[in-house]
């Protein structure tokens, strides 16, 4: 289990930042990596201490936050200090600036300002303006493994996930239906656009806003080099399902700087299936049985409705 004592955190802040902790509290956000909010003597600004279950994720977020800030200037956390050596703890960690603002959904429910979703759409399109030479997972600072064709990467990723969850009861029965659906719809993965930086976890909890604009984009842990429309799926499922009136505003904002293909309405189904497989894999990985059962039901429901 990822955990850091107050005493250990105090040593890090004192040694690396020259400050003294006056308060530290765990944050509930996140299913895998642990986070703490830190107050430091003599400054009103708070810091975030983020622990990573795999050290390469430290390098990845440090690299991507720098790339985003230097390339397009979107507000992302500033990395104050990080350690990926595992020399002090059996996990990597980073100390980040805490960005101002409230979660997009909470800010919207308070203000009912649909323009906040327009701003979130604009921010995502700007993120997608960062391009890579190949499709694939971003591991540290590299694309690994890398693929020339988007469809080849999607197939690889789904097969990788299915192999990892094959021990789950019912997956052996479900897996052939997943593969059949992907085979029937593989033409939708023949995209013309090149690899963009995808957040891969873009939904209200990771978008901070004030009453006017986006003040922060958080958590690039799952980012990949991929097809831009894949980054819409969590907004579709986790935001617009409960706030349908915000959907058009979001996409109006997106097309100010980005493009959406005529095939998106069909392609969305493929990305939803992929999302469901990912959710089963993640919940299995962290051993959250309640969440796993929920995700399994969602995957089964999708296959029942679309096969």
**Which residues, other chains included, contact 283 with Cβ-Cβ below 8 Å and sequence gap of 6+?**
31, 291, 292, 294, 295
Residue-wise pLDDT for 8-29, tens only, equals 989 888 988 888 999 999 886 5
Fold of 6-97: Phosphorylase Kinase; domain 1 (3.30.200)
Residue from 275, 172, 258, 201 nearest 33 by CA: 201
Does residue 31 have a pLDDT over 90?
A: no
pLDDT score of 239: 97
Answer yes or no: are the C-beta atoms of 180 and 173 closer than 8 Å.
no
- Which residue did the predictor score with more confidence, 30 or 25? 25
Q: How far apart are CA 256 and CA 66, in angstroms?
A: 24
Residue from 135, 106, 92 nearest 29 by CA: 106
Residue 3 banded pLDDT, cuts 50, 70, 90: confident
Average the pLDDT over 265-288 and give the result: 96
Superfamily per CATH, domain 102-306: Aminoglycoside phosphotransferase (APH), C-terminal lobe (3.90.1200.10)
Domain range list for the chain: 6-97, 102-306
Average the pLDDT over 206-220 and give the result: 95
Q: In three state form, how does the secondary structure of the chain look? A: CCCCCHHHHHHHHHHHHCCCEEEEEEECCCCCCCEEEEEECCCCCEEEEEEECCCHHHHHHHHHHHHHHHHCCCCCCCEEEEECCCCCCCCEEEEEECCCCEEHHHHHHHHCCCHHHHHHHHHHHHHHCCECCCEEEEECCEEEEEECCHHHHHHHHHHHHHHHCCCCCCHHHHHHHHHHHHHHCHHHHCCCCCCEEECCCCCHHHEEECCCCEEEECCCCCCEEECHHHHHHHHHHHCCCCCHHHHHHHHHHHHHHCCCCCCHHHHHHHHHHHHHHHHHHHHHHHCCHHHHHHHHHHHHHHHHHHC
Does residue 30 have a pLDDT over 70?
A: no
Average the pLDDT over 58-77 and give the result: 97
Residue-wise pLDDT for 168-208, tens only, equals 988 999 999 999 999 999 999 999 999 999 999 999 999 99
**Which residues, other chains included, contact 210 with Cβ-Cβ below 8 Å and sequence gap of 6+?**
100, 101, 102, 107
**Which residues, other chains included, contact 233 with Cβ-Cβ below 8 Å and sequence gap of 6+?**
268, 271, 272, 274, 275
Q: How far apart are CA 137 and CA 247, in angstroms?
A: 28
| Other beta carbons within 10 Å of 251 | 20
Does residue 77 have a pLDDT over 80?
A: yes
Residue 5 banded pLDDT, cuts 50, 70, 90: confident
Answer yes or no: are the C-beta atoms of 217 and 124 closer than 8 Å.
no
User: Which residue's structure tokens are 């904002």?
Assistant: 253
Tell me how far the alpha carbon of residue 48 is from its chain's centroid: 17
Residue from 162, 181, 156, 145 nearest 281 by CA: 162
Percent of the residues in the chain that have a pLDDT greater than 70, as a whole number? 98
- Which residue did the predictor score with more confidence, 63 or 29? 63
Q: How far apart are CA 137 and CA 147, in angstroms?
A: 10
Mean pLDDT over all residues of the chain? 94
């Amino acid at each position: 289990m990822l955990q850091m004592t107050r005493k250990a955190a105090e040593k890090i802040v004192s040694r690396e930042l020259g400050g003294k902790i006056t308060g530290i509290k765990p944050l509930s956000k996140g299913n895998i990596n642990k986070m703490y909010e830190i107050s430091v003597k003599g400054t009103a600004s708070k810091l975030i201490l983020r622990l990573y279950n795999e050290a390469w994720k430290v390098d990845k977020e440090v690299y991507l936050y720098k790339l985003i800030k230097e390339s397009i200037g979107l507000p992302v956390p500033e990395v104050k200090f990080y350690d990926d050596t595992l020399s002090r703890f059996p996990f990597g960690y980073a100390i980040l600036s805490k960005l101002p603002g409230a979660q997009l959904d909470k800010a919207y429910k308070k203000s009912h300002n649909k323009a906040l979703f327009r701003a979130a759409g604009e921010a995502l399109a700007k993120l997608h303006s960062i391009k890579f030479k190949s499709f694939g997972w971003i591991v540290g600072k590299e694309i690994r493994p890398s693929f020339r064709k988007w469809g080849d990467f999607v197939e690889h990723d789904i097969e990788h996930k299915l192999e990892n969850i094959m021990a789950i009861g019912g997956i052996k029965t479900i897996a052939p239906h997943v593969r059949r659906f992907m085979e029937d719809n593989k033409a939708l993965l023949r995209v013309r656009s090149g690899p963009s930086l995808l957040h891969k976890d873009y939904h209200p909890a990771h978008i901070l806003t004030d009453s006017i604009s986006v003040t922060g984009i958080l958590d690039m842990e799952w980012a990949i080099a991929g097809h831009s429309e894949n980054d819409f799926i969590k907004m579709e499922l986790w935001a617009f399902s409960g706030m349908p009136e915000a959907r058009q505003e979001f996409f109006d904002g997106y097309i100010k700087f980005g493009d959406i293909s005529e095939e998106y309405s069909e392609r969305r189904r493929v990305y939803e299936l992929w999302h469901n497989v990912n959710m089963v894999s993640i919940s299995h990985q962290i051993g959250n049985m309640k969440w796993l059962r929920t995700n399994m039901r969602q995957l089964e429901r999708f296959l029942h409705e679309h096969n």
